[in-house]
Each structure stands twice: as structure tokens, then as C-alpha cells.
Chains A and B, each alone.
Chain A
Amino acid sequence: MKGNVKSAARKFIYRESTVGYVFALPFIIGFLGFTLIPIVSSLYYSFTDYNLIQKESWIGANNYMRLLHDERFWKSLKVTLRYVLLSVPSKLCFALFVAMILTRTTKLTGFYRSLFYVPSLIGGSIAVALVWKELFSRKGLINQILGIVDIKAVSWFGDQKMALIPLILMTVWQFGSSMIIFAAGLKQIPGTYYEAAKIDGANRFRAFLHITLPGLSPVILYNLIMQTISAFMSFTQAFVITQGGPNDATNFYALYVYDNAFEYYDMGYASAMSWVMLAIMSLITLVIFKSSKHWVFSEAGN
């Protein structure tokens, strides 16, 4: 009897799946503790008036109703959408451009590739945002360069039409991770296609249009979705450089969530905003996925 239990325990321990779970344990605990439980509890809090200090009480969908009448909320949504629409395409184009240059095989390709990847590694950090802030400050480098060609200094962060531009440029500058993925994708396109096109007399532009783009479309889809999601969640640039100003012109959605949560201690409201954001992002991702049928080329199909 005792032996039976022992051998059963033994069997359990040495089972393939048990070993797998044990190794995955750190991740599972992290996922539960830092992702799943907070997500679920934020759903609960979004229906309450929780403010960290007092015990929360259930207020139904009030937080969601409040959003409808919050002008700052609508403006932050507009600003974020504009930012996503401007920054994601420019970033992807730039990343593709650099990737194409870097797929030409020279000895230093590896070196250049890592060099271009560096901004993305440090990109999300406070330090880079601070540097960017200095670059575009009243007496910063950009204004000094403008001064040389006799253009009047621009108050980048004092002009509501201009303030978004430095933030978009900073995002585009962090093109490294998309570039690496593009570069890998470019290598997957067989060289024979290009040779065939050359023999048929196609120029470089046509080859790009009819071979590179279709061949790369699954990678473009992947990059588009990843970058769109991360652009929606942009926070650091606005938090460090502009604090959302001037006149809320750079008040990104994530920054407004943060302000509500940690400046005004309106945790319930901030949770509701996060859930609205999740719904919007899911919807946009879904639309991109659905539309991909029409433009993503798959070698297996047809």
C-alpha cells in the first residue's frame, strides 16, 4: 500500500508534464500575480469608486457613463489616434527602408544592424526622453540648427500643433525591432524571383512592388499589429517630455489613465478607461486581421 503511494508520487513527479509545469512555474506565477489577477481586479474596480484610501463601493456603470461626458477623455482618444495613424506607418516605412539597405551583404552588415537596433533597446527609457526634451527645448539643438538657416526658433512644446511632432519623431527613431523582423522577412524571399523579374526586364521599383511587398506581407501584418498596439500604449514620451501639454495636445490615453489613477486617485475611473482602451484595441486589431485576407499573400494558399 505504502509502496503504491510512493510509486504513484514518483510517477507524478517524473511525468513529462509535471516537469514542464515546474519549469514554467516562475512564468505562471508571474503571469497570475502581475497580469491576470490585476486585470480581473481592475475589471471589478471599474464598477466601483475605489480611490486607494477608502473602502470602495459598487457604483455600477457610472464610471463608463462619466467617460461619455469627459471632454478630456475624448481629446486624449483623438490625440492618441492621430499619433498612432502618423507614427506607425512612418515607423514601418522607415524600418523597411533601413532593412532593405542592410540586407545587402557586406562584411559590416551585422555591425550596422546592431548599431541601428540600439535606439530601440534604450528607446522606452526615461533618459532618452529627457535627451529628446533637451533637443527640442527653446534653446536646444534643433532650434539652433534652424537658427543657422535663418528660421525663427520654434516653441515645440509651447505650440499645440507642433508638440506631437517631436514625439512622433522619437517613435520613428526607435524603428530597430521592426527593422530586424523586416530584415529576416526579406531574407525569406527567394532570390530566384528577382532573377526572373530581371530577365523579364522589370526595374527595381516594379520588383519591389510585385515581389518584395507581397512576399513580405505576412511580416508587415505582424509588425503593423505589434506597433499599433504599442503605439496605443505610449506613455513615457508624453509623461517625461510634455506632461500631456500644451492644452492636452499630447495627452495620450495611457497618460490620462495614469493621471486619473495616480494624480487624482480615481482608481475606478482609471480602470474603466483601461477597459475601454482594451475594447478599442481589440476592435482595431480585429479589423486589421479581417482586412489582411485581402492584402496578405500566402504561399500556401491559391
Chain B
Amino acid sequence: MKVKRVLVLFLAILTILSLTACKSKETDTSADQSGNSNNTAETSSDGEKIVLRMAWWGSQARHDKTIEVIEMYEKQHSNIDIEYEFYDSDGYFTKLNTLVASDKVWDMFQLGGNFPVYLSKIVPLDDYIASGVIDTSNTTDTFLKTTQYEGKQIGISNGVNTYGVAYDPAMFKEAGVAEPDQNWTWDDYAKACNTIHEKLKIYGSSKFDDFVAGCSCGISQSDINLNFYALTNDGLGFDDYSLLTDYIQMRADLTESGAYPDPGAISEIKDIEGDYLVTGEAAMTWVASNQFIALSQAAGRELKLATIPRKTSDGPAGAAIQSSQMFCVSKDCEYPEEAAEFLNFFWTDEEANKILAGERGMSIFSNVTEVQVPDLSSEEVAANDFVNLVGSFEVGEINPVSPEPYQAIEDYYDLIIQKVIYGEFTAEDGAKGFYEFAKSQFE
């Protein structure tokens, strides 16, 4: 009987302890942090470490390189301890949103074109640029503008990139198709796809980012002054849905003829290694310029980069250089100045960027690109040349932002293309239905 009593008490205490232990851990750290923030100045002299949290999304190569740079910085600054987390992009944004909801956003976090949603969580960097913590003397206003919003420097670009079409010149030659030039059109693309499919019995083209190709670029290709999303980010930037029809029709036709993978085959592509251009089952694929290096390495044969096809050969290119992503400092950060200092190192330090090697895109700092030159592989040179080529194209005012609810709109576009492929709609009705859906998302 006594044993039983003792046991009950013991278990009860254990339960209570384990519960409170979970809780007290959290309150402990937060007490710690607020304690630290009161004497930021002293912490470094105390030898107490400043902890900065950082997160990004990307591929394994990116994780390895970024971690190497973090360790390099920690070695030089013994008082800084950087805790990092990395995800694939879906997981990253799910995590970020839960952190936003609980006011615990990482001190330094990566953001792309959907940054306006997070504005309330971002510390603008203008003060740190003015005070010289972030050194922007080696870059230009044009580059800085790619990550400005309503006159504030939201972050600084980790590198710029642009989209293009990677292709296998040997396959083009074998099929007797001329290699694309920088004025090729969607008609040329479709013809090339069909010819290669007929001659070589493979897909003409692997998976394209249909939304960027057909909508973001497609609208600007129709009229240099138009954007898919309005510059004010509160609606669509065009009002003629028929501008979308041609691309949808072309995509459905190519799928029908077997020159483009059907939706089932598309869903089998998991990563760059599985891309049909890499596996030799297609002659072309859609690629971001900074991914061209990984794509070429995975393919193990010579690939070239072509510009995105145009609607008409003398019409606008519709493509522009953009910030591939940036790092921002969060409002939840206890040490924004230290974070800015680290990011300055990340963006502008020559040794650090030899390691990063432009994997996030071509650096916007001239001192960095200069020191990178001797180490560049031929693919990296090709990618940089390509960015410079696209940068020389005439563009209108480009909207770099993907306003909410961009994800629902992009998914719906893919769905509409599938409905046209399966004959549920004509391309014209599909374009109309999609336009109305996209518009209704802003109401």
C-alpha cells in the first residue's frame, strides 16, 4: 500500500515537473534576452555571446556555402554566435508565417518578391547604410532599387538573376533545328519543340515556369508599359485577358502533340537532377540564370542559355534583371546593428563571396564580382554574360513584387492550363476565367 502511494506521488510530481520544465525553458530564454538587451554595449566586453538567428531556403549547395561563411565570420568575431536554419522554400514560408504570428521571426531572414506581406516585420536598412555599417560604395542605385519599397531599403539583394531557356546544342543539331538567337519567338520555340520531338522521339522542352513565361513576361512582352500585377500591387496591371490566350493555347498544343510532358510527367520532376533536359529526355528547359551552373553540372554535357522567346521578334523582351532574393533584418531582432554588420560581411566581403560564388545570383557589388572573376567556371561566365545581355534589353517599369495572394493566382493558372489540355475549356475561355479569378483575389 505504501509503495503504491509513493509511486502515485512520484508519478504525479514527474508529470508536473515535465510540464513545467517545458514552460520554464521558454520563459528562461526570453528573460535572458530581455536582460541582455538592456546592456547591449557591455555584452561584448563581458565575453558573453551575442546570438543571432538566421534562416534561408535553397539547395544543399547553398546550405553548405552559407554555413561555411557563417563559420568564417564567427571565427573572426568571437563574441557572435549565429544560429542558422535552412529549409526548402515551401517549408521556409510555412515556418516564417508561424514565427510572424508569434513575433519570433529570425533576426536575419531571406525574402523574395513576396516581401510586402512581411513589411511590418522588417527593419529598413537606410540608417545602417547612412552610418556606414553597410557599405554600398561598390554598387549602384539601380541595383539597390531592386530591393526598395516605398522609398525604404527593405534589404539588399543577395545577387541578381534573370530567367532563360537552357538548351542542348548537340540535340538541336541532331534534329536539324537552328539554335535560338536572342530574338526568337514563341512560334520558333513551339516549332523547335515539335521538330525535336518528331526527329529524336524525346520531349522538345522540359518543364517551364508557365506563370513567369506566360504571365509575368507574357504581359510585358505584349506591351512594354504593362505588368501582370499593377505597380500599386492592389490589382492586375492589364485589362485585356486575350493577351494570355496564345501562351495557354501553345502549351496545350505542345502537350497534346507529346512535345511537352503531360501533367503526370511534370509532377515526376522533383529537382534539377530529375529535369528531363538533365536526364536527356528533353532538349530545353526553363532555368534561372544562377541555377544554370547546377543544371550544367548535373547534365554533364554542354548546355547553352537562350533568352525567353518573345511574342514578336522585334517586340519587347519582357524579361528583366531582378533580385533573386535578399536578406532582411527582422523587427524581432535584439541586435539589429550586429545583424547588419554580419550581413554587410556576407554581401561585400571578398573572401566570403569567393565561397558563396554567386550561387544566389550575380553579386551587385563590383569589388566582389571582380575578385570572383579568376575562379569562374565557363558556366558561371555564361550565366553572368547572360545576365548582362538581358540587362541590356529595353524594359518598361517592371514590378518586382508578387503581391498577396500570388500563390493562389499562380496555382490557378496551372490549373487552367490543365483544364485547357483536357479539353474542359478553350484557351480563350481559360484565359478569361483565369483573368476573372485573379482579379477577384484582390477584391
A26, A158, A159, A245 interface centre (most CB from chain B within 10 Å): A158
Sort chain A's interface into a size bin.
Answer: 20 to 34
Docked pose: A116 CA to B75 CA in angstroms: 56
Task: Decide if A34 is an interface residue (CB 8 Å cutoff).
Answer: no
Report whether A247 and B424 are in contact in the complex, using a CB–CB cutoff of 8 Å: yes
Report whether A53 and B12 are in contact in the complex, using a CB–CB cutoff of 8 Å: no
Render A109-142 as a binary contact track against B, CB cut-off 8 A, 1 for contact. Answer: 0000000000000000000000001000110000
Task: Decide if A263 is an interface residue (CB 8 Å cutoff).
Answer: yes
Report whether A22 and B5 are in contact in the complex, using a CB–CB cutoff of 8 Å: no
Docked pose: A163 CA to B404 CA in angstroms: 31
Report whether B118 and A53 are in contact in the complex, using a CB–CB cutoff of 8 Å: yes
Name the residue on A nearest B15 (C-beta).
Answer: A25
Task: Decide if B94 is an interface residue (CB 8 Å cutoff).
Answer: yes
Report whether A246 and B405 are in contact in the complex, using a CB–CB cutoff of 8 Å: no
Task: Decide if A156 is an interface residue (CB 8 Å cutoff).
Answer: yes
Task: Decide if A160 is an interface residue (CB 8 Å cutoff).
Answer: yes
Which A residues are in CB contact (< 8 Å) with B261?
158
Task: Contacts A14-B5, A22-B11 given; indicate if A53 touches B100 (C-beta within 8 A).
Answer: yes
Name the residue on A nearest B406 (C-beta).
Answer: A264
Task: Decide if A157 is an interface residue (CB 8 Å cutoff).
Answer: yes
B9, B262, B424 interface centre (most CB from chain A within 10 Å): B262
Which B residues are in CB contact (< 8 Å) with A133?
268
Q: Give, as a whole number of angstroms, the nearest-CB distance from B89 to chain A.
A: 12
Docked pose: A52 CA to B96 CA in angstroms: 10
Q: Give, as a whole number of angstroms, the nearest-CB distance from A254 to chain B.
A: 17
Task: Decide if B264 is an interface residue (CB 8 Å cutoff).
Answer: yes
Which B residues are in CB contact (< 8 Å) with A23?
11
Which A residues are in CB contact (< 8 Å) with B170?
none
Report whether B264 and A29 are in contact in the complex, using a CB–CB cutoff of 8 Å: no
Residues of B231-284 whose CB lies within 8 A of A: 261-265, 267-268
Report whether B267 and A157 are in contact in the complex, using a CB–CB cutoff of 8 Å: yes
Q: Which of B9, B12, B98, B424 contacts A52 (CB 8 A)?
A: B98
Which B residues are in CB contact (< 8 Å) with A163?
264
Docked pose: A151 CA to B156 CA in angstroms: 56
Docked pose: A269 CA to B345 CA in angstroms: 43
Report whether A138 and B264 are in contact in the complex, using a CB–CB cutoff of 8 Å: yes
Docked pose: A163 CA to B424 CA in angstroms: 17
Q: Give, as a whole number of angstroms, the nearest-CB distance from B342 to chain A.
A: 26
Report whether B263 and A158 are in contact in the complex, using a CB–CB cutoff of 8 Å: yes
B94, B264, B421 interface centre (most CB from chain A within 10 Å): B264
Report whether A246 and B422 are in contact in the complex, using a CB–CB cutoff of 8 Å: yes
Which B residues are in CB contact (< 8 Å) with A160?
422
Report whether B407 and A248 are in contact in the complex, using a CB–CB cutoff of 8 Å: no
Docked pose: A157 CA to B264 CA in angstroms: 4
Report whether A155 and B265 are in contact in the complex, using a CB–CB cutoff of 8 Å: yes
Q: Give, as a whole number of angstroms, the nearest-CB distance from A131 to chain B.
A: 14
Name the residue on B nearest A19 (C-beta).
Answer: B8
Docked pose: A247 CA to B94 CA in angstroms: 25
Which A residues are in CB contact (< 8 Å) with B421?
247
Docked pose: A293 CA to B330 CA in angstroms: 62
Residues of A217-233 whose CB lies within 8 A of B: none
